Amino acid sequence: MSSNFILIPSIAFCCYTFLLLAFIAAKKTPEVKAFIFALACCLLWTGGSTLMRLEAWPGIKIWYDISLAGLFLLAWAMYLFILIFTGRKPSLVSHLWLCLVIAMTVFNSITGLLLKAPSAVATADGISFEYSIGWPVIIFFIVCGGIIFNTFYNIALAWRKNEILKRQLKPLIAGIASIFLMQLLLLLPQMNGFPIDVFSALVMVICFIYALYERHLIRMTLLISKGACYAASAIFAAAIFSNCIRPLENFFQANLSDIIKDETLIISIMFTVFTVCMYYIMKLFIDKVFIKDEYIRASTIKDFSENVSSTLRIDEILDRVISVINDTIQADSVYVFIEDSSDSYYKIVRSLSPLDDRSVCLKNDNPLIEYLSRRSECILYADFQRLSAWKSMWEEEKNSLNQLGIQCFAPLNDDEGLIGIIAVSRQYSKSRITYDDIDFLSSVSSIASIAVKNSQLYEKAYMEARTDELTGLLNRKYFYETLKNECSNLHKDSLSLVIMSIDDFKLYNQLYGNIEGDRALKRIAAIISASVGDNGYTSRYGNKEFGIILPGYDVLSARNLTYSISQQIMNLNKSDAEYALKILTMSCGISSIPYDASSDQELLSNADMAVFQVKRNGKNGIMIYSGHQEKGGALETAEDKHEDVYSEYAPTIYALTAAIDTKDHYTFNHSNNVAYYACELGYAYGLNDDSVEILREAALLHDIGKIGIPENILNKPGKLTAEEFEVMKRHVENSVGIIRHLPSLDYLIPAVIGHHERYDGKGYPRRTAGEDIPLLARILCIADSFDAMISSRSYKEPFPVEYALSQLSKCSGSQFDPRLAELFITLVNDGKVQPKEPEK
């Protein structure tokens, strides 16, 4: 073969040198590091081959061994690269392959049995190299074939598990197959001396670079740095001129010997000029083909980042997102999905054209949403369709996305998860989304994610500053501001203000606890908000007061709306499943501009005055400040006398206590004692007369359920067994079951059902704890326990009062409310509560 074959390894050596310089400056991911090692092996291979063909010092054998070492190591380098590229880590098997390759390289270098070094033969065209290939070369093919087989096995595993990786693995498969097949061609006599193996490695490296580029692990900009271009142009020029020096000298001597006296100087000048021209041509070509768009897009990204960071309005941010995508990649349409946490859907909130179909929405558990939530990277819709996740989508969802013509999805992610999606459509244009477009979309989505998150945080902070945390209505401060603005902007229209106050809400909290009270506030707020809608502004004006600003409403329209809201609130607790809660009523005041007020302050003062008049005259009513009290329906009027609603229940209570007395006289006396202790403690705690009356009735009936307990357990002289105690504990549910069927006494249930609960949550029957236990139940618990300790029973003698008080103190904070226990102990010690003498 001719020595002109040196051109191929020379060019390959230049390419590998250029690529190695470029990739050394790249970001060192595991894949890039593995590729750099493969390039180093290629450099040893081609460099050794080139210097061997040049017969450079220290000789053909040395350079041949170096070239062969690079070739052997390249097989393992390809294996390592594929292993890392498919997401696996080097294992014991990979280290065994490396040891085998090193051993084979050292053995061949010493003995030359596998692949003997070629001999240089002088021919008419120059120097030719003749290879002597014997049967031991099979060992080389067996080892390299085993490594390649193991490589393809790893590819098969990744191919089966990851559909998207299939496309990225295709160029790698092509590269490995090309180098293996061209190595086999060396066995043909026609290929003797031709460096087809070097050419195959160049093909393989190009395939690997394409795979890295497709995986978004490298950018073309790393290949065109000024230093890399200088090095590449110098290497290419040297490689070409090394084969052109002798022909140029012969040409000058034969044709221009009379004109040119110093051929070496002229050739040096030509080499320099050629190198400079080659540099600029290479730079111009790469700039034109690869870099121009990247520089433009980098500038666009910079401008976009500055623009979106200058606003906190989400509408402006999304408009700029759509605009920059459309201007850069010429999309037919761009859709932005944002999560709507209220109904667990991602909905289209912005698109390129207002005429675009925005009805498509994706549920939180949609496979596409779940996929994008796990991966912070763009994905082509065509790639997603290869995944099993796409197959699990509903046909309706697939058709919706297909109709929009979406080609690519870019997730908007933050630390907490997926907040939105950018979907790019090219439904009508023939061009497809490229991987450069994906890189651009990734940059846009990263910047947009931060901007959208900041906007949402701002919106949240803004809403929290103006709304009540519990109900979601406007808070008092913003209510005043809104009322002032509405009155200032009022011209000839009317404006009504409604103040609604919950009647006896403190009693409601004492009966059912603060948690149930908060639940009632939220339900009332929901009724008010839904009834007013977009016709006005709703606010939590005070702790139990709500304000409604109604622009354009006269007093009659405001009264009708207020009446409707009051009726809904009265029906609020009638459908409770567990037990009937106390009916909630509202005292409402209405004032209007221009009928009876001329300013926001006067309007507010008049409405408050109307509420005060309703409270004063019996509650549960509506008053317009003009002077008359509204009547109608289930609402009580101001003229009605406010009666003691509890006195009518007394006969029922006494009848029930008499029933228990016929079965267990102790329980009857015990209930009376508990009523006395509980009422005294209630008054000392600051309860009003209504609350204390409820407490007294609950105390009289708290053990009414013992009617259903067998007498052998109720009056057992010894300690109850575990089974008997479980039966005894049922008296609480029995009591509730009896009271439940007495509609006039259902307000006693919270106190009765909780009188055996413990402050630490270890009581029964519901194991509630702390202040979640209704206040009246906590009072009953202390009164009940104290009387039980100082009373005589069939199974025990009465304990001294001092012992009972010590037990109250000891169990304070565990069984008893610590404040109530301390207060009760003080009442007894001060003589304000007189312990009842136990019956003989």
Residue pLDDT, tens place only, 376-387: 788 888 888 878
Rounded to whole angstroms, the Cα distance separating 340 from 363 reads 10
pLDDT at 641: 35
Per-residue 3-state assignment (H helix, E strand, C coil) for 79-107 = HHHHHHHCCCCCCHHHHHHHHHHHHHHHH
Q: How confident is the model at residue 7 (pLDDT cuts 50, 70, 90)?
A: low
Res 291 pLDDT > 80 = no
Mean pLDDT of the 310-323 span: 86
pLDDT at 583: 82
pLDDT at 422: 92
Res 561 pLDDT > 90 = yes
Question: Which of 183-192, 427-436, 599-608, 732-741 holds the top average pLDDT?
Answer: 599-608
For 300, counting Cβ atoms within 10 Å of its Cβ (0-12 exposed, 13-18 middle, 19+ buried), the class is middle
Contact between 652 and 748 (Cβ < 8 Å): no
Q: For 753-803, what is each residue's pLDDT tens digit? A: 888 899 998 888 888 888 878 888 899 999 988 988 888 776 678 889 899
Res 516 pLDDT > 80 = yes
The Cα-based distances of 104 to 61, 65, 81, 138, 284 in angstroms read: 17, 12, 21, 12, 46
Mean pLDDT of the 167-188 span: 74
Q: For 80-91, what is each residue's pLDDT tens digit? A: 988 888 878 888
Q: How confident is the model at residue 501 (pLDDT cuts 50, 70, 90)?
A: very high
Contact between 349 and 318 (Cβ < 8 Å): yes
pLDDT at 112: 80
Mean pLDDT of the 424-446 span: 77
SS3 309: coil
The Cα-based distances of 434 to 403, 406, 407, 411, 440 in angstroms read: 21, 14, 10, 17, 10
- The residue type of 779 is I
- The residue type of 453 is K
Task: Give me the residues paired with residue 547 across strands.
Answer: 499, 539
pLDDT at 52: 81
Q: Which two tokens stand for residue 30?
A: 């595991």
Q: What is the mean pLDDT of the chain?
A: 79
Res 711 pLDDT > 70 = yes
Q: Which of 115, 774, 366 is nearest to 766 (CA)?
A: 774
Rounded to whole angstroms, the Cα distance separating 812 from 818 reads 5
Res 645 pLDDT > 50 = no
Q: What percent of the chain clears pLDDT 70, i.e. is strictly above it?
A: 79
Q: What is the pTM of this model?
A: 0.44
Domains identified in the chain and CATH numbers? 3-218 (1.20.1070.10), 219-303 (no CATH), 314-465 (3.30.450.40), 476-630 (3.30.70.270), 647-829 (1.10.3210.10)
DSSP string, 749-794: HHHHHTTT--TTS--SSS---GGGS-HHHHHHHHHHHHHHHHS-BT
